A and B are shown apart, each in its own frame.
Chain A
Amino acid sequence: MNYSYYPGCTLRNKAKDLDRWARECAEVLGFHLDELNDWQCCGGVYPLGSDEIASKLPSVRALNDAKEHGQDLVAVCSACYHVLKRVNNDMANVPDIQTRANNYMALDEPYKGETKVLHYLEVLRDRVGFDELKKKVVKPLSGRKIGAYYGCLLLRPSGILAFDDPEDPTILEDFIRALGAEPVIYPYRNECCGGYVSLKEPELAGSLCDRIADSAKGFEAECLVTACPLCKYNLSKSGKLPVVYFTELLAEALGIKEDDK
C-alpha cells in the first residue's frame, strides 16, 4: 500500500528522527510513503482568520497532489496533520474558502476536500492494525513504563480532527502496548505544552511542561512519547523526563534501530 507523504519542514532539520524512522518502519510494516513533490510549509499553525486564504494554499496544494495520485495523505508531525486536516475540512465544507482557494489554484478540476488525511498513528491503528503490529515486533519493549503525550494538536477540535476521544484518548496507549511496553496513564497527557508561547513567555510554557512531566513521573513513567516536534522541544527543555518520538520507539521494537540510551 502506498501513501502520499507530507513530511513538513521540521522533519527536515530538528525532527529528522521522526521522519527517518517513519519511512523505514513503513517498509517493515508493508506500506510505502511517497513524498510529495514540491511540498511547501503548512504554516505550522492553522490560520483562524476567516478572510485569510493565502496561508491555506500550501495545504490545498498538498491535498490536491495526493488526490491526483489517487492516494491518502499521511503526515507524521502533529502540527502538519492538524493544519492539513482542518484546511481539508474547509475545502469540503466551507463554500467561501473552497471557491476562493480554487480561484487561486486554477486547477483543471477544482479541489473539494476529496483527499483523506491520515496521521501515521491512524495508519498503524486502522490500516495495519495494532494486533498485526504486535506480531511484527521483534524486540518488545518489555518492562518499560512509557507515558503517552498527545498535546492538543492531534485531538482538538475533536469534531474536525476526529482522531480520538479528546478527553480520554487511547491510540498512543494501544500503540505502546503493541510494542510490549506498559503505558502510564496520567491526567495531563492531553494538556497543552505551551506551544509557541515558549518563545514569548518561556516561563509559562515551562510551568505547563513541568506539570505534565511531574505528573507522568509521579505515575512512574520513565519517558514520554510524542508525535509533535514542538511538544518534544518544550518538554525536553523542562528536562524532567526523556522525550522520544513514537517512530523511534517503533523502530526500536521492530529491531531496525539499536537502543542508544
Chain B
Amino acid sequence: MQKIGVFVCHCGSNIAATVDVKKVAKMALKEPGVCHAEDYPYMCSEAGQSRIAAAIAEKGLTGIVVCSCSPRMHEATFRKAAERCGLNPYMVEIANLREHCSWIHKDMEEATEKAVILMRAAVAKVHLNTPLQAGESAVTKRALVIGGGIAGIQTAIDIADAGYKVDIVEKTPSIGGRMSQLDKTFPTLDCSACILTPKMVEAAAHENITIHTYSEVEKVSGFVGNFTVDIRKKARMVDMTKCTGCGVCQEKCPSRKTANEFNRGLNTRSAIYTPFAQAIPNVPVIDTESCIKFKTGKCGVCAAVCQAGAIDYKQQDEIITETYGAIVVATGFDTIKLDKYGEYAYGQSKDVITSLELERIMNAAGPTKGHLERLSDGKAPKEIVFIQCVGSRCSDDRGKPYCSKICCMYTAKHAMLIRDKYPDVNVTVFYIDVRTPGKNFDEFYRRAVEDYGVNYVKGQVGKVAPQPDGSLLVQGVDLLDNKQILKKADMVVLATAIEPNPDARKIATMLTASIDTNNFLTEAHPKLRPVESPTAGVFLSGVCQGPKDIPETVAQAGAAAVKVIGLLAKDKLKTNPCTAQADELLCNGCSTCANVCPYGAITYEVRLVNDHGIREERRVASVNSALCQGCGACTVACPSGAMDLQGFSNRQIIAEVDAICR
C-alpha cells in the first residue's frame, strides 16, 4: 500500500476563489492510502515545496498528488522537488484544478465537487505508479534551419558562430527571402539589400554553414537531439561546381515570357534564371515548365553558350538524408490573395497594386528601374492613395482577424519616400488606426505627416472605381470630418495583409509541431517560451510564428539560435521513460501497432517465448524506447492489449476512470 500525500494549491485566488480548497484537502484524507493532506496559497513557491519535502520526510510518503495548475506548467517543478527528497519523480501526479476546473467554472459548489473528483482520480493513479528511470540519448551536434530569409540566415549565423554545424534549406533558388525584395527599410530608410547581402555572404562563406537552395524538406523522423531529415535537392539543370555565374545563359535564353516571381509578376524573366543580381548562390536554375528545350526538345541555347559546360539537362532531383539535433522553422510569409476584395479593383486595374509590388517599383533593380510610374501607361502618377488594413483586422472570412503589424510603418515609409523624391505628387493614406509602437517608429510616422505633408485620413475605402479615362475614383469616408470622400487618383496602393508561407502547415505536420487557426506555428508558451515549439527540439524564427518587422525578426532569430545552442551544448539528453512496452505473451504479431506508430519506434522480431511452459518461436512487437515518444497510439490500437505505456498503463487509466465514476 502506498503512503500518499495530497497538496492542494490555492494559486493565489486563481483556484481558491472558485474551489473550496480546504474541503478538497479534507476529502483527500478519506481516500485510501492518503496519510497526509494540506492546502497552501502557492505550492510552487519555495515555502510550498519545503512543505512537500517536510511531509515526505516526516510521513515517509511513497507517492504524492499536487492539486494545482496544468502539468505543462509545474509538473517538472514538483517532480524535481520530490526527487530532491529521494522520491522517484514519477511517483508525482498532478490534478489540474486550475485550467480544468477553477478557470472554467463559476459555481463554487459544483467546481469543488469536480475538484474532489479530479483529486480522487489522481490518487487512484498514484496507487499504481511505479518508479521509472529516465534513460539517456546522444545529441547530434548539427542544426537544420528551414527557410533562408533574414530569420533563417540570422539564426544560422548565430548557431554557426557558436561552433555548431548548421544547414539551411531554402525552397527558392537563392537565400534572401522577402527582405531581398524590399527597397528601403523603416525607420532608418537604409537600403534593404545593403544590409542584407553582407549577411547572405557571411552565411554562404561560413565554415559551419551549408546552404541547400532550390531544396525542400521532404520527410522528418526521430526526436529531439536525433532528427533524421530527407531533403529533396531539386534538379537545377546547372552543375553548381562548374557554373561561374557569368549570366550569358540568361541573356541568350529565347524564352522570356515567364512571370518574374521576384518582381511579383510585374515583368518577365528568362526560363534559365537567378532570381536577382545578388543571389546566393549565383548559379541559375532552369524552370523546366517554361524552358523550350524541356517543352519541345528543340533549343539548347544555354548549353551552347555556356563556356563552363555547366548546363546539364539530364540532372535529376536528389534526396539527401541528414541527421540533426535541432530544427528551426523560419518559413516566413506571403501577402494574401486579393480575389475576395473586388471593391479595390485589384486585378481590374494595373494601377491598383500591393505595397510589396510598390517596393519592387521603387527599387532600382525592379521592373521600372526605380521610376515611380503607372504600370498601365508608364505615366508618372500625380495623386496616390494608400489603403491600409486590406485584409487585416478583418471580421469576416475574406481576410485575417489579426493585425499584420508592419503595414502602418511601411505605408508611412512609402508615403515619405514618394513625397521626398517626387514633391509634386500628392499622397493620401486611408487608415483605421495608425499603430506605430517601436523604437523611433512614431517619430517616423509623425515626420511623414508633419514634415512631408502626407495626407492621413481616418476612414476606410468602400470602392476603387476605374474610370474610362484611366484614373481611379476612390470612394472613402473621413470619420473625423464625418463626410464622404471622392478622390481621383492615378495609383492606389493596398497594404495587403500578410499570412504564413503556404508551406508552413505542411512543414508543421512533418515536425508534429502545432499550428494555430491562422497557420502560424504555435509557441510553447506565449510569454515565457516564445521561440520554442511545444515539440521538443523544434524552434521558431521570424514571421512563421506571427507578424513581425525586421528588427523583431532578427531578435527572435537570435533567441531561437540561443535555444538551439543550449540544446546542442549538451552531450546527452534525458529521455522520457514513459514509453510503450509490448507484453510478448499477449502479442499476436498483427503489426497494428507498428502501422499506427508515428515515430517508427516499433519493429517486429521472431523471439523464443516461454508461454506457461510452452516454448516456441513467435513474431512479436519490440519497441525502441529511444524512438518512442510515449504518445500511446499503439496502446489504443493493439487488439490484444499487449501494448502498455509506462506511467500511463491501461490499469492506471482504468483506475482513474473508476475513481471518477465512483
Residue on B with the closest CB to A165?
Answer: B342
Distance from A22 Cβ to chain B, minimum over Cβ atoms (Å): 28
Chain A residues with CB under 8 Å of B465's CB are 187-188, 215
Is B330 an interface position by the 8 A CB rule?
no
What are the interface flags for B448-471 relative to A under an 8 Å C-beta threshold, 1 for contact and 0 otherwise? 000000000000000111111100
Is B343 an interface position by the 8 A CB rule?
yes
Chain A residues with CB under 8 Å of B44's CB are none
Determine if B467 and A218 form an interchain contact, defined as CB atoms under 8 angstroms apart: yes
Dominant SS among interface residues on chain B: loop
Determine if A185 and B348 form an interchain contact, defined as CB atoms under 8 angstroms apart: yes
Instruction: Categorize the interface residue count of chain A.
Output: 10 to 19
What are the interface flags for B490-531 relative to A under an 8 Å C-beta threshold, 1 for contact and 0 otherwise? 000000000000000000000000000000000000000000
Chain A residues with CB under 8 Å of B235's CB are none
- How far does the alpha carbon of A218 sit from the alpha carbon of B471 in the complex, in Å? 12
Q: Which of A168, A191, A218 contacts B468 (CB 8 A)?
A: A218
Distance from B254 Cβ to chain A, minimum over Cβ atoms (Å): 34
What are the interface flags for B71-102 relative to A under an 8 Å C-beta threshold, 1 for contact and 0 otherwise? 00000000000000000000000000000000
Residue on B with the closest CB to A168?
Answer: B342
What are the interface flags for B342-362 relative to A under an 8 Å C-beta threshold, 1 for contact and 0 otherwise? 110101100000000000000
Is B340 an interface position by the 8 A CB rule?
yes
Determine if A215 and B467 form an interchain contact, defined as CB atoms under 8 angstroms apart: yes
Chain A residues with CB under 8 Å of B340's CB are 165, 167
Is A219 an interface position by the 8 A CB rule?
yes
Known contacts A165-B342, A167-B343, A185-B348; is A215 also within 8 Å of B463 by CB?
Answer: no
The total of chain B residues at the interface (CB under 8 A) is 16
Residue on B with the closest CB to A167?
Answer: B342
Distance from B275 Cβ to chain A, minimum over Cβ atoms (Å): 31
Distance from B561 Cβ to chain A, minimum over Cβ atoms (Å): 45
Distance from A89 Cβ to chain B, minimum over Cβ atoms (Å): 17
Distance from B488 Cβ to chain A, minimum over Cβ atoms (Å): 13
Q: Which chain A residues (211-249) contact chain B, with CB distance < 8 Å?
A: 215, 218-219
Chain B residues with CB under 8 Å of A191's CB are 463
Distance from A183 Cβ to chain B, minimum over Cβ atoms (Å): 13
Chain B residues with CB under 8 Å of A165's CB are 340, 342
Is B103 an interface position by the 8 A CB rule?
no
Residue on B with the closest CB to A219?
Answer: B468
Distance from A91 Cβ to chain B, minimum over Cβ atoms (Å): 24
- How far does the alpha carbon of A253 sit from the alpha carbon of B463 in the complex, in Å? 34
Distance from A150 Cβ to chain B, minimum over Cβ atoms (Å): 12
Is B604 an interface position by the 8 A CB rule?
no
What are the interface flags for A40-73 relative to B under an 8 Å C-beta threshold, 1 for contact and 0 otherwise? 0000000000000000000000000000000000
Determine if B468 and A215 form an interchain contact, defined as CB atoms under 8 angstroms apart: yes
Chain A residues with CB under 8 Å of B422's CB are none
Distance from B50 Cβ to chain A, minimum over Cβ atoms (Å): 58
Chain A residues with CB under 8 Å of B339's CB are 168
What are the interface flags for A151-167 relative to B under an 8 Å C-beta threshold, 1 for contact and 0 otherwise? 00000000000000111
What are the interface flags for B312-348 relative to A under an 8 Å C-beta threshold, 1 for contact and 0 otherwise? 0000000000000000000000000001111101011
Known contacts A185-B348, A187-B463; is A167 also within 8 Å of B468 by CB?
Answer: no
- How far does the alpha carbon of A68 sit from the alpha carbon of B235 in the complex, in Å? 63
Determine if A187 and B341 form an interchain contact, defined as CB atoms under 8 angstroms apart: no
Chain B residues with CB under 8 Å of A218's CB are 467-469
Q: Which chain B residues (462-485) contact chain A, with CB distance < 8 Å?
A: 463-469, 473
Chain A residues with CB under 8 Å of B464's CB are 187
Distance from A5 Cβ to chain B, minimum over Cβ atoms (Å): 31
Q: Which chain B residues (348-386) contact chain A, with CB distance < 8 Å?
A: 348
Residue on A with the closest CB to B467?
Answer: A218
Chain A residues with CB under 8 Å of B468's CB are 215, 218-219
- How far does the alpha carbon of A191 sit from the alpha carbon of B343 in the complex, in Å? 11
- How far does the alpha carbon of A234 sit from the alpha carbon of B122 in the complex, in Å? 75
Distance from B339 Cβ to chain A, minimum over Cβ atoms (Å): 8
Residue on A with the closest CB to B398?
Answer: A167
Residue on A with the closest CB to B468?
Answer: A218
Chain A residues with CB under 8 Å of B467's CB are 187, 215, 218
Residue on A with the closest CB to B466?
Answer: A187
Distance from A29 Cβ to chain B, minimum over Cβ atoms (Å): 29
Chain B residues with CB under 8 Å of A168's CB are 339, 342, 347-348
Distance from B479 Cβ to chain A, minimum over Cβ atoms (Å): 22
- How far does the alpha carbon of A219 sit from the alpha carbon of B466 in the complex, in Å? 10
Q: Which chain A residues (182-226) contact chain B, with CB distance < 8 Å?
A: 185, 187-188, 191, 215, 218-219
Chain A residues with CB under 8 Å of B469's CB are 218
Chain B residues with CB under 8 Å of A185's CB are 348
Distance from B474 Cβ to chain A, minimum over Cβ atoms (Å): 11
- How far does the alpha carbon of A236 sit from the alpha carbon of B208 in the complex, in Å? 76
- How far does the alpha carbon of A215 sit from the alpha carbon of B463 in the complex, in Å? 14
Q: Which chain A residues (58-94) contact chain B, with CB distance < 8 Å?
A: none
Q: Which chain B residues (393-421) contact chain A, with CB distance < 8 Å?
A: none
- How far does the alpha carbon of A166 sit from the alpha carbon of B463 in the complex, in Å? 12
- How far does the alpha carbon of A218 sit from the alpha carbon of B466 in the complex, in Å? 11
- How far does the alpha carbon of A161 sit from the alpha carbon of B463 in the complex, in Å? 21
Residue on B with the closest CB to A166?
Answer: B342
- How far does the alpha carbon of A218 sit from the alpha carbon of B473 in the complex, in Å? 14
Residue on B with the closest CB to A185?
Answer: B348
Distance from B334 Cβ to chain A, minimum over Cβ atoms (Å): 21
- How far does the alpha carbon of A29 sit from the alpha carbon of B169 in the complex, in Å? 57
Chain A residues with CB under 8 Å of B466's CB are 187
Determine if B348 and A167 form an interchain contact, defined as CB atoms under 8 angstroms apart: no
Residue on B with the closest CB to A169?
Answer: B342
- How far does the alpha carbon of A257 sit from the alpha carbon of B192 in the complex, in Å? 65
Distance from B460 Cβ to chain A, minimum over Cβ atoms (Å): 14
Residue on B with the closest CB to A220?
Answer: B468
Distance from A212 Cβ to chain B, minimum over Cβ atoms (Å): 11
Distance from A82 Cβ to chain B, minimum over Cβ atoms (Å): 20
Chain B residues with CB under 8 Å of A215's CB are 465, 467-468
What are the interface flags for B147-189 relative to A under an 8 Å C-beta threshold, 1 for contact and 0 otherwise? 0000000000000000000000000000000000000000000
- How far does the alpha carbon of A118 sit from the alpha carbon of B45 in the complex, in Å? 67
Q: Name the residue among A167, A188, A191 with the largest chain B CB count within 10 angstroms.
A: A167
Distance from B307 Cβ to chain A, minimum over Cβ atoms (Å): 51
Chain B residues with CB under 8 Å of A166's CB are 342
Q: Which chain A residues (122-167) contact chain B, with CB distance < 8 Å?
A: 165-167
- How far does the alpha carbon of A61 sit from the alpha carbon of B339 in the complex, in Å? 39
B interface residue numbers (CB < 8 A to A): 339-343, 345, 347-348, 463-469, 473
Beyond A218-B468, A219-B468, list 5 extra A-B contacts (CB 8 Å). Answer: A168-B342, A187-B345, A187-B466, A187-B467, A187-B473
A interface residue numbers (CB < 8 A to B): 165-169, 185, 187-188, 191, 215, 218-219
> 3 tightest CB-CB pairs across the interface, nearest first?
A168-B342, A167-B342, A218-B468
CB pairs A–B below 8 angstroms (13 shown): A167-B341, A167-B343, A168-B342, A168-B347, A168-B348, A187-B345, A187-B348, A187-B463, A187-B465, A187-B466, A187-B467, A191-B463, A219-B468
